Amino acid sequence: MKSLTFEILGATSFLIGCVFVLNSFFGVTGFIIAEFVGKRTGSLIGLAFIIIGILLFLRGRLEHSLDLFKSRGIITDPKKLKKVAGRIIKQRGYPGREVKEGYQILDKRNKPLTVIPRHISKGVYFGIRDALLTGEPNFRRANYSN
């Protein structure tokens, strides 16, 4: 529900920004929002609304992806888990690559964050989920003091 609110606010803000920007370029009768707003000011206000709208919409999409982990229960199918994790990976900017063990997800510093193996147990699922939600690696013997 929280994600839908962000998406609606983002889309609304984006549309308001587009109207402000269009209003600053065209003086069409009946399309004027406010006569006292100049072209430059209207453009800046419009751009601010557009940027805020995009950020709110992206935040809503991220919240939706995070909610999938909470609402779907335990996912032990590697393909389904990779699909759900893929949304978070894209939105948080985590790169990934195929390795011998499965699909490895790297953090923003290109250090291993987690691996989605070919066979998933409940404990492995919770480790992957926690790593994706917190951004902290779930490897026991990892040394990241570099």
Last residue of a domain, one of 26, 56, 71: 71
Max CA distance (Å), the chain: 68
Closest CA to 85 of 101, 106, 100: 106
* Those residues with Cβ within 8 angstroms of residue 114's Cβ, 6 or more apart along the chain or in another chain: 104, 105, 127, 128, 131, 132, 137, 138, 139
Q: What's the confidence (pLDDT) of residue 140?
A: 55
27, 33, 36, 101, 138 from 46: Cα distances, Å: 15, 12, 15, 49, 43
Question: In this structure, what token pair is assigned to residue 110?
Answer: 């290109």
DSSP designation for 116: E
**pLDDT band, residue 141 (cuts 50/70/90):** very low
pTM flag (> 0.85): no
Are both 49 and 18 inside the same structural domain?
Answer: yes
CA distances from 59 to 34, 47, 79, 83, 142 (A): 30, 18, 25, 19, 31
- Residue 26 lies in domain: 2-71
Strands (DSSP E) found in the chain = 96-99, 102-106, 112-117
pLDDT of residue 143: 44
63 and 92, same domain (yes or no): no
- Residues 60-108 have pLDDT tens digits of 877 776 676 666 667 777 777 777 777 777 777 778 788 888 888 888 7
Whether residues 60 and 85 fall in one domain:
no
Q: What is the pLDDT of residue 51?
A: 92
Q: State yes or no: pLDDT of 145 exceeds 50.
A: no
Total domains in the chain come to 2
Are 60 and 91 in a shared domain? no
CA–CA separation, 53 and 13 (whole Å): 5
pLDDT at 39 over 80: no
User: E-strand spans in 11-108?
Assistant: 96-99, 102-106
The answer to whether residues 83 and 33 belong to one domain is no
